[in-house]
């Protein structure tokens, strides 16, 4: 079953779509079982003493897999239009790596133990490298270098030793448990070090100081950045962090050792700083990238509250932010395809030219900011509750500040686009004809934008899945 | 560099000397090495088990025959190694050594003397090989002497003449055949159902009982050794003395 | 029949060498065929040996040369001893030799003009020597076999260009010092114990309780020094890089995977079999810490030196130095997982070094330039070769599921278990450095300008590029490469079983 | 002479001065191998080095009151009675049991025979290599060779 997830559609889009729908279908097949709260296991041969390649489908993984695979379809559709629109080279390689990375994402989502997680994590890093450097020019290469060096470097330097440490300490067992993998007798210093090693080691979560790969990876074609920043990579990072918190340490142990605050401080710092940086960015994609850094820090922050609300908020935020941010990136891409504009300053008055896109952009940014009636509201709300529950008012304040900052760096774009006239063409406003990006681009982004809305109205599924882990 | 070398050497020497304090005294007949069952086994049982009074030969060719086989192989490797490193086949006189008149070795007297003593040297060498069971000697010593005799011939009559007697191809064949004799003899034991180099297996095809079979087999392997050593000694000389051209001797 | 396997493994290539020499220079092709057959048969036999040893009815094959029984508890003859560890290493050796012979088919003519029979004879004798080293149970016989391998490798290296000759000379000096140190150590053991058989030495050491005698300690130190010199352990590594880099490419591919690894095997064997863990790891000897820190030094220095090089073969040779550091450190960390991890790394490192060297020499052959920028655009020019190279490189970096990952895993966990963080960090560091090295190369190979094609515009989709002059190499080189890379993966996949065998075998030894 | 030194010599050097000699020889050889600049001198050092080890081994096997390890009372009658030796073994053993103190320990001799051969082979090969070096560099002085390599080689 999972094996199918790893199949590589070597051929073209048709196969890709087929695979995508297959994947989604399978996940939906597994959905009811998971909803009944039981946990599916698929184990392959043991590769290390006591450690099999194991897949374990539980609520959190389910939620993540759902988001990823459903958005994958849209991304595929979108990238179809995008690649065709720009007549990119090497489309075969592109789609192969694309599918590969998504499969790796699912693998991470369903990984049953740290080793499996790690393996798929590395596969993901490697398979996205060609995507990031797709353009093959100098800029892309340097971007790719930072990308790979950050991701591989941190994972090898921090995660691997931490993992082996757990392996040794836990007597040769790395399976995720509902309780704690490590016994409480490891000192709080060691625990803190290991926890930090994990949280920073999964650099895909973009926590500072290991965030700089994210803006650099913006050289990639937009579908890729959409994939990276909304669906696959970054979410894998935070997902791994959540896994470590809940599955390896167990919230209780962390509470006992009282080591979460450090993480939360790092996260808070990241949130504020990244939002401030985002304000200064003119390149739209870079701005979005920094906002992603911030949003991811939300998730880590939420987990580090160690309260069920916090975890719920984080888990939900994975989904919500995914929909919101992918919309934004789709829009950015669509603008680029249609007009070739990359910079925020150029987008003044663009709303008349591409209303649908800019509307979607508006919705997406609202969802990110977390205003009702958009999905983002739920997660923000729960994060907030979590903060209060953990009576860390400072953090709550941070959340509010950052939301304001979100507004500051996101909203102006659509507002300017709609209500201000493009400077070069004052006078003959009426003559501007609507010139949207190709259909294949516009449809998915509108879908996701609406999805953000729907997620506000029907969040039950997400909650059910999340409660599977938070309750108890 | 020099000073570091000196320091390293001194450290090594100090280490080694530090160990000598708890060594048994020299000439101590009760030192563990000398009164260990192994050596006493060699001394006491050798003659009874192999009918060879010269224990060194017995140990060399029988108890540790496996070692000696590889020892022969070492010589062989040295021979072909030298050729592989030094010999340049792409020369004017690569395959056929053309005679050079100025390469006629020593003067008349030297040639005359050599022609007198060469036969005796070679006979003595063969004696050393054959009589290794009862007196100091054996394949290596005899082989070296035999090789030396050819080297002497080369010195006296010029390498090219010596090469006529003992051409490079023939040298290689001799060397290989020597090891063939040794190893093949061991394999023969294998074929007769005993372990490798277990000469007792061959008593059916050799005169005398199993013990004599060992004794005889030792002679045979020694002959094999002698073959190889002779050939390689000469090949070493002829290559080294001519920088691998094999044309013009010293 | 089974009981004769060990000696047969040795005899077949030995005869092969003789036949090759007898065939002479006129028939190079037959020389190749002969050595191919002999090495193939020998590796087949060693494979069956593994099966026989695993089948359990004979945990350890003992083979008494000349059929001499032991007299009151002492071996008077020479004895071969093959347990699962030896069987595995022997199989690795013979198999590498076999595959490499396939590889050398087309190259031999070009690289050793007119000396083909000698080349193949030396190669087979090298394999014989290595197998003998692994299987023998006699300390002095071990010395002789070490010298056999050394002599063959001196000659093989010196067959190259003039720099090869020079580095080979240094190798002669260093190698002789190493072997002689080993010989001195054995002599000290002999003078105290009066026997040369490894098991008997162990027995006598135990009976007379000679552990704390100065001479025994010195003997241990000198044997270790000798073995380290032969395996190019860090401060003594001077001879290796030049020797392997300038030797004929086939020679490099033969020796780089085998020599150092077999020497590491010898080291582990001496540590475990002759002296025993309680002596080696006993707390009142300071050397444990020292050696591990030296190995840390070796790893770091090897990686950095490799990083500083631009010549691909030099890079690989310095990486070997680092890998030797892995193994020495691992085996000195602790008994049990450390030793087993080091031993597993012997196999995996042999596989990946083999893979990388073959790939590198193919590329150098095709591109005609051994510097890193020879890799520009190679992914398009020689995709198959680059795939092989990539597998080896990933294994060097230590990414799953290649075997490099698992050996690192075991070694690091050993380091953490022994509480020796310096070692673990050094491993991590070196794998980071490897990542840098190889991804630099990948980037070149991936984006590098192909002659005549502008960088910003690759021909889309199709690999058919009109002006690619560099084509893939003949099958006789690609097949070995793929066998090598396949074995890298295979070792990784079946690491668990291997590891358990190794551990059990080591346990058997230590009891 | 200082009594301490005297006693030291008494106790350590005199009883096993063979070890001292071998160690000193070996140090000489090793020093030459490491520091000499001329390749041939290195090789000479190597020869000394190996000879020292051989001396060490052989001196291990020496016993006082011992002769060369060849059965001396090996009468000619023994040859005729080889065929019926099988049944007379026991009796023969009685009337010539071999006193193992009368014979030197054969094992070191054998080992050193091997070691000598190895030494010879190594030396020969090393000479060949140095000849090749001389052919291609025109000198045997290490520093000069390295100077010749400077411009070309990256090392």
Contacts of D41 in chain B (CB under 8 A): none
- Write down the mean pLDDT value for chain C: 83
Quote the minimal CA–CA distance from C218 to chain D in Å: 13
Reference C408, options A220, D123, A409, A156; nearest CA is A156
pLDDT of residue C408: 87
Task: Tally B–D CB contacts below 8 A.
Answer: 172
Q: Tell me whether residues C413 and A160 touch, CB distance under 8 A.
A: no
Of the ranges A205-209, C322-326, C439-443, D60-64, the best mean pLDDT one: C322-326
Residues 6+ apart with CB under 8 A from A377: A367, A370, A371, A456
Helix (H) or strand (E) holding C160: none
pLDDT of residue D104: 84
Q: What's the mean pLDDT in C258-265?
A: 90
pLDDT of residue C152: 93
Contacts of C398 in chain A (CB under 8 A): 156
The CA-CA-CA angle for residues B152, B157, B161, to 5°, reads: 105
Reference A234, options A174, A282, A183, A274; nearest CA is A274
CA distance A364 to A368: 6
D141 in a structural domain:
yes
DSSP A358-378: HHHHHHHHHHHHT-TTSHHHH
CB A31 within 8 A of CB A64: no
Quote the minimal CA–CA distance from C385 to chain A in Å: 19
Contacts of C187 in chain D (CB under 8 A): 53, 56-57, 60
- Look up residue D152 and give its two tokens: 């070309």
Whether the predicted pLDDT of A4 surpasses 70: no
Q: What is the CATH number of the domain that holds D132?
A: 1.10.287.3510
Quote the minimal CA–CA distance from D66 to chain C in Å: 18
Residues in chain D: 155
Cα C506 to the center of its chain, rounded Å: 20
pLDDT of residue A387: 81
Q: Tell me whether residues D60 and C162 touch, CB distance under 8 A.
A: no
Whether the predicted pLDDT of D30 surpasses 50: yes
Q: Tell me whether residues C154 and B187 touch, CB distance under 8 A.
A: no
- A462 is in which domain, residue-wise? 2-470
Q: pLDDT tens digits, residue range A362-404?
A: 887 887 777 776 777 777 888 888 888 777 777 788 888 888 8
Q: Tell me whether residues C412 and A152 touch, CB distance under 8 A.
A: no
Considering CB atoms only, which of C66, C125, C138 is closest to B198?
C66
Compute chain A's Rg from CA coordinates.
21
Reference C63, options C35, C92, C87; nearest CA is C87
Whether the predicted pLDDT of B79 surpasses 70: yes
Contacts of C401 in chain A (CB under 8 A): 47, 119
Considering CB atoms only, which of C416, C455, C459 is closest to A168?
C416
Quote the minimal CA–CA distance from A375 to chain C in Å: 38
Reference C94, options C506, C140, C4, C86; nearest CA is C86
Whether the predicted pLDDT of B78 surpasses 90: yes
- Write down the mean pLDDT value for chain A: 73
D20 in a structural domain:
yes
% residues pLDDT > 90 (chain C): 18
pLDDT class of D28 with cuts at 50, 70, 90: very high
Contacts of D67 in chain B (CB under 8 A): none
Q: Tell me whether residues B22 and C195 touch, CB distance under 8 A.
A: no
pLDDT of residue A90: 61
- Look up residue A341 and give its two tokens: 């504009």
ipTM: 0.82
Helix (H) or strand (E) holding C211: none
Q: Tell me whether residues A161 and C416 touch, CB distance under 8 A.
A: yes
pLDDT of residue B121: 93
CA distance C269 to C272: 5
CB A414 within 8 A of CB A334: no
Residue keyed to tokens 């860390």: A392
- Look up residue B65 and give its two tokens: 């025959």
Q: pLDDT tens digits, residue range A332-372?
A: 877 777 777 777 777 776 766 777 777 788 887 887 777 77
- Look up residue D33 and give its two tokens: 């191998």
pLDDT of residue B177: 92
Q: pLDDT tens digits, residue range D33-90?
A: 888 889 999 999 999 999 999 998 888 888 877 778 888 764 444 444 444 444 444 4
pLDDT class of C151 with cuts at 50, 70, 90: very high
Helix (H) or strand (E) holding A128: helix A114-132
User: Exposed, middle or buried: residue B234 (CB in 10 Å: 0-12, 13-18, 19+)?
Assistant: buried
The CA-CA-CA angle for residues B34, B37, B41, to 5°, reads: 95
CB C370 within 8 A of CB C312: yes
Of A117-126, A247-256, C149-158, C312-321, the least confident = A247-256
Do A and D make contact, counting contact as 3+ CB pairs within 8 angstroms?
no
Shortest CA distance from C140: residue in chain D: D111
Do D and B make contact, counting contact as 3+ CB pairs within 8 angstroms?
yes
Q: Tell me whether residues A164 and C401 touch, CB distance under 8 A.
A: no
Fill in the DSSP letter of residue D12.
I
Peptide bond into A373 cis (omega under 30): yes
Whether the predicted pLDDT of B77 surpasses 80: yes
CA distance C343 to C351: 13
The CA-CA-CA angle for residues A79, A82, A86, to 5°, reads: 140
pLDDT of residue D50: 92
Considering CB atoms only, which of C435, C495, C496 is closest to A152?
C435
Cα A91 to the center of its chain, rounded Å: 24
Q: What's the mean pLDDT in A138-147?
A: 76
Helical segments of C270-286, H only:
277-280
Quote the minimal CA–CA distance from D75 to chain C in Å: 27
Per-window interface: D 18-57 vs B, CB < 8 A: 18-20, 23-24, 26-27, 30-31, 34-35
Whether the predicted pLDDT of A452 surpasses 80: no
* DSSP-based three-state secondary structure for A208: coil
Number of H helices, E strands in chain B: 10, 0
CA distance C416 to C432: 18
pLDDT of residue A21: 67
Reference B245, options B96, B106, B109; nearest CA is B96
pLDDT of residue C455: 38
Q: pLDDT tens digits, residue range A174-192?
A: 777 655 666 656 666 777 7
Higher pLDDT, C355 or C234: C355
The CA-atom distances, in angstroms, between C408 and each of A156, B100, C413 are 11, 64, 8
Q: pLDDT tens digits, residue range B169-184?
A: 888 889 999 999 999 9
Q: What are phi and psi of A113, to 5 degrees?
A: -150, 170
Q: Tell me whether residues D33 and C177 touch, CB distance under 8 A.
A: yes
CB C236 within 8 A of CB C229: yes
Reference A89, options C309, C465, C510; nearest CA is C465
- Look up residue C427 and give its two tokens: 């491993």
Fill in the DSSP letter of residue A307.
S
- D113 is in which domain, residue-wise? 16-62+105-147
D24 in a structural domain:
yes
Is any Cβ of chain B less than 8 angstroms from the Cβ of D101?
A: yes
pLDDT of residue D91: 45
pLDDT of residue B143: 92
Strands A40-48 and A51-57: antiparallel
Whether the predicted pLDDT of D100 surpasses 80: no
pLDDT of residue C465: 42
Considering CB atoms only, which of D61, D86, D100 is closest to B44?
D100
pLDDT of residue A283: 79
Q: Which chains does chain D touch, 3 or more C-beta pairs < 8 A?
A: B, C
Q: Tell me whether residues A157 and C428 touch, CB distance under 8 A.
A: yes
Number of domains forming the structure of chain D: 1
Quote the minimal CA–CA distance from A119 to chain C in Å: 6
Higher pLDDT, C71 or D40: D40
Q: What's the mean pLDDT in C60-87?
A: 84
Whether the predicted pLDDT of C292 surpasses 50: yes
Helical segments of B131-167, H only:
139-157, 159-165
CA distance D67 to A81: 99
- Look up residue B103 and give its two tokens: 């390469």
Q: Which chains does chain C touch, 3 or more C-beta pairs < 8 A?
A: A, B, D
pLDDT of residue D82: 45
Quote the minimal CA–CA distance from C215 to chain B in Å: 4
Quote the minimal CA–CA distance from C175 to chain B in Å: 15
D134 in a structural domain:
yes
pLDDT class of D116 with cuts at 50, 70, 90: very high
- Look up residue D127 and give its two tokens: 């000479």
Number of domains forming the structure of chain A: 1
Whether the predicted pLDDT of C271 surpasses 80: yes
Q: pLDDT tens digits, residue range B216-240?
A: 888 899 999 999 999 999 999 888 8
Q: What's the mean pLDDT in C117-131?
A: 91
Reference C148, options B177, D122, B224, D110; nearest CA is D122
Helix (H) or strand (E) holding A39: none
Q: What's the mean pLDDT in C347-373?
A: 83
Helix (H) or strand (E) holding C82: strand C79-82
Is any Cβ of chain B less than 8 angstroms from the Cβ of D105?
A: yes
Do B and A make contact, counting contact as 3+ CB pairs within 8 angstroms?
no
Whether the predicted pLDDT of C164 surpasses 70: yes
Residues 6+ apart with CB under 8 A from A67: A231, A235, A318, A319, A322, A323
pLDDT of residue A234: 80
CA distance A381 to D88: 108
% residues pLDDT > 70 (chain C): 94
Q: pLDDT tens digits, residue range C451-490?
A: 433 333 444 333 444 444 556 677 778 888 888 888 888 8
- Look up residue A261 and give its two tokens: 């605050």
Higher pLDDT, A195 or C36: C36
* DSSP-based three-state secondary structure for B98: coil
Q: pLDDT tens digits, residue range C363-391?
A: 887 777 777 777 777 777 777 888 888 88
Higher pLDDT, A416 or A92: A416
Q: What is the pTM of this model?
A: 0.86
Task: Tally A–C CB contacts below 8 A.
Answer: 80
């Amino acid at each position: 079953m999972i094996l199918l997830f790893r199949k590589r559609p070597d051929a073209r889009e048709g196969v890709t779509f087929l695979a995508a729908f297959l994947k989604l279908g399978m996940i939906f097949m597994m959905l009811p079982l998971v909803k009944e709260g039981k946990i599916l296991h698929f184990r392959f041969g043991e590769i290390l003493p006591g450690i099999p390649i194991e897949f374990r489908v539980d609520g959190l993984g389910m939620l993540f897999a759902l988001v990823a695979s459903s958005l994958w379809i849209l991304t595929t559709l979108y990238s179809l239009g995008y690649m065709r629109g720009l007549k990119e080279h090497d489309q075969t390689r592109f789609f192969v790596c694309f599918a590969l990375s998504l499969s790796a994402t699912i693998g991470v989502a369903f990984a049953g133990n740290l080793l499996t997680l790690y393996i798929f994590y590395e596969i993901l890093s490697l398979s996205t490298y060609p995507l990031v450097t797709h353009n093959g020019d100098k800029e892309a290469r340097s971007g790719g270098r930072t990308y790979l060096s950050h991701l591989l470097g941190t994972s090898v330097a921090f995660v691997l030793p931490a993992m082996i440490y757990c392996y040794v300490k836990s007597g040769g067992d790395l399976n995720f448990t509902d309780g704690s993998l490590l016994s409480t007798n490891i000192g709080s210093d060691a625990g803190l070090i290991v926890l930090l090693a994990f949280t920073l080691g999964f650099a895909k979560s973009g926590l500072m100081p290991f965030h700089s790969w994210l803006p650099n990876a913006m050289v990639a074609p937009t579908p890729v950045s959409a994939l990276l920043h909304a669906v696959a990579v970054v979410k894998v990072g935070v997902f791994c962090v959540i896994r470590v918190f809940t599955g390896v340490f167990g919230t209780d142990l962390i509470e006992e050792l009282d080591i979460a605050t450090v993480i939360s401080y790092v996260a808070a710092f990241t949130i504020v700083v990244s939002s401030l940086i985002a304000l200064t960015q003119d390149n739209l994609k870079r701005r979005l990238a920094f906002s992603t850094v911030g949003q991811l820090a939300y998730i880590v922050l939420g987990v580090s509250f160690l309260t069920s609300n916090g975890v719920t908020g984080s888990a939900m935020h994975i989904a919500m932010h995914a929909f919101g941010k992918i919309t934004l990136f789709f829009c950015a891409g669509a603008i680029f395809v249609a007009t070739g504009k990359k910079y925020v300053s150029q987008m003044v008055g663009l709303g008349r030219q591409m209303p649908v896109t800019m509307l979607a952009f508006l919705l997406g940014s609202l969802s990110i900011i977390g205003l009702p009636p958009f999905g983002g509201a739920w997660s923000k709300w729960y994060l907030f509750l979590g903060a209060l529950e953990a009576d860390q008012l400072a953090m709550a304040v941070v959340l509010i500040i950052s939301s304001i900052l979100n507004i500051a760096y996101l909203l102006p774009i659509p507002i300017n686009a709609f209500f201000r006239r493009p400077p070069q063409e004052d006078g003959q406003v009426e003559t501007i004809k609507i010139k949207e990006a190709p259909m294949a681009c516009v449809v998915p982004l509108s879908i996701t934008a609406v999805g953000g809305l729907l997620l506000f109205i029907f969040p039950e599924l997400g909650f059910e899945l999340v409660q599977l882990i938070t309750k108890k | 560099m020099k000073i570091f070398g000196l320091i390293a050497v001194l450290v090594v020497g100090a280490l080694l000397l530090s160990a000598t304090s708890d060594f048994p005294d020299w000439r101590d007949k009760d030192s563990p090495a000398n009164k260990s069952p192994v050596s006493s086994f060699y001394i006491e049982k050798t003659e009874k088990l192999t009918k060879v009074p010269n224990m060194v030969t017995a140990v060399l060719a029988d108890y540790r025959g496996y070692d000696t086989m590889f020892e022969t192989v070492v010589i062989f490797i040295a021979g072909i190694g030298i050729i592989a490193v030094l010999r340049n086949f792409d020369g004017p006189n690569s395959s056929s050594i053309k005679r050079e008149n100025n390469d006629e070795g020593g003067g008349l007297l030297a040639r005359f003397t050599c022609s007198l003593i060469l036969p005796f040297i070679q006979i003595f060498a063969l004696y050393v090989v054959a009589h290794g069971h009862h007196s100091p000697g054996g394949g290596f010593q005899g082989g070296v002497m035999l090789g030396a005799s050819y080297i002497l011939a080369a010195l006296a009559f010029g390498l090219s003449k010596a090469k006529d007697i003992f051409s490079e191809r023939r040298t290689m064949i001799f060397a290989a055949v020597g090891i063939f004799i040794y190893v093949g003899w061991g394999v023969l034991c294998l074929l007769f159902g005993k372990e490798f180099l277990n000469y007792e297996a061959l008593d059916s095809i050799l005169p005398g009982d199993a013990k004599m079979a060992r004794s005889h087999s030792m002679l045979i392997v020694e002959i094999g050794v002698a073959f190889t050593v002779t050939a390689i000694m000469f090949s070493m000389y002829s290559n080294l003395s001519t920088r691998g051209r094999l044309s013009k001797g010293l | 029949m089974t009981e004769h396997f060990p000696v047969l493994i040795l005899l077949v290539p030995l005869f092969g060498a003789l036949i090759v020499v007898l065939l002479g220079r006129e028939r190079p092709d037959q020389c190749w065929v002969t050595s191919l057959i002999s090495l193939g048969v020998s590796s087949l036999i060693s494979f069956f040996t593994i099966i026989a040893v695993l089948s359990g009815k004979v945990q350890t094959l003992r083979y008494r040369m000349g059929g001499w029984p032991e007299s009151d508890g002492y071996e008077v003859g020479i004895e071969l001893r093959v347990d699962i560890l030896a069987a595995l290493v022997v199989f690795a050796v013979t198999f590498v030799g076999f595959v490499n012979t396939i590889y050398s088919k087309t190259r031999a003519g070009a690289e050793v003009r007119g000396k083909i029979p000698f080349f193949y004879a030396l190669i087979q004798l090298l394999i014989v020597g290595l197998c003998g080293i692994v299987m023998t149970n006699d300390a002095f016989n071990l010395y002789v076999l070490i010298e056999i391998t050394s002599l063959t490798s001196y000659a093989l290296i010196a067959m190259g260009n003039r720099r090869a000759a020079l580095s080979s000379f240094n190798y002669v000096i260093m190698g002789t010092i190493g072997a002689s140190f080993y010989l001195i150590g054995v002599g000290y053991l002999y003078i105290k114990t009066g026997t040369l058989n490894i098991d008997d030495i162990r027995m006598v050491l135990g009976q007379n309780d000679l552990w704390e005698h100065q001479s025994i300690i010195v003997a241990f130190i000198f044997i270790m020094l000798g073995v380290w010199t032969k395996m190019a352990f860090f401060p003594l590594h001077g001879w290796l890089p030049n020797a392997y880099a300038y030797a004929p490419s086939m020679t490099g591919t033969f020796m780089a995977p085998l020599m150092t690894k077999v020497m590491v095997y010898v080291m582990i064997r001496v540590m475990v079999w002759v002296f025993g863990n309680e002596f080696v790891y006993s707390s009142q000897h300071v050397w444990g810490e020292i050696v591990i820190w030296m190995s840390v030094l070796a790893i770091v220095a090897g990686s950095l030196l490799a990083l500083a090089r631009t010549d691909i073969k030099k890079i690989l040779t310095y990486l070997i130095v680092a890998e030797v550091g892995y193994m020495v450190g691992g085996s000195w960390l602790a008994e049990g997982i450390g030793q087993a991890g080091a031993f597993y790394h012997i196999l995996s490192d042999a596989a990946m070094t083999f893979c990388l060297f073959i790939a590198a020499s193919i590329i150098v052959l095709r591109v005609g330039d051994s510097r890193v920028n020879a890799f520009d655009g190679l992914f398009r020019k020689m995709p198959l070769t680059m795939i092989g190279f990539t597998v080896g490189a990933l294994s060097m970096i230590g990414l799953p599921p290649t075997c490099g990952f698992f050996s690192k895993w075991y070694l690091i966990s050993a380091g953490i278990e022994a509480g020796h963080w310096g070692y673990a960090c050094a491993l991590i560091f070196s794998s980071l450095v490897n990542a840098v090295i190889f991804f630099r190369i990948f980037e070149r190979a991936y984006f590098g300008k192909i002659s005549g094609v502008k960088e910003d515009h690759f021909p889309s989709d199709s690999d058919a590029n009109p002006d690619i002059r560099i084509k893939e190499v003949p099958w006789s080189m690609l097949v070995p490469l793929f066998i090598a890379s396949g074995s890298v993966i295979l070792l990784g996949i079946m690491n668990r079983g291997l590891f358990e065998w190794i551990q059990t075998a080591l346990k058997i030894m230590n009891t | 002479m200082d009594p301490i030194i005297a006693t030291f010599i008494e106790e350590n050097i005199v009883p096993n001065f063979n070890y001292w000699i071998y160690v000193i020889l070996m140090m000489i050889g090793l020093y030459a191998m490491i520091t000499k600049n001329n390749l041939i001198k290195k090789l000479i050092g190597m020869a000394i080095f190996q000879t020292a080890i051989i001396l060490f081994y052989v001196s291990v096997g020496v016993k006082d009151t011992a002769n060369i390890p060849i059965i001396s009372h090996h009468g000619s009658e023994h040859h005729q009675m080889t065929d019926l030796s099988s049944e007379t073994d026991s009796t023969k053993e009685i009337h010539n049991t071999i006193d193992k103190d009368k014979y030197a320990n054969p094992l070191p001799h054998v080992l050193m025979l091997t070691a000598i051969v190895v030494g010879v082979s190594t030396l020969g090969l090393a000479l060949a290599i140095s000849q090749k070096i001389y052919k291609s560099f025109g000198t045997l002085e290490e520093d000069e060779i390295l100077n010749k390599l400077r411009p070309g080689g990256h090392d």
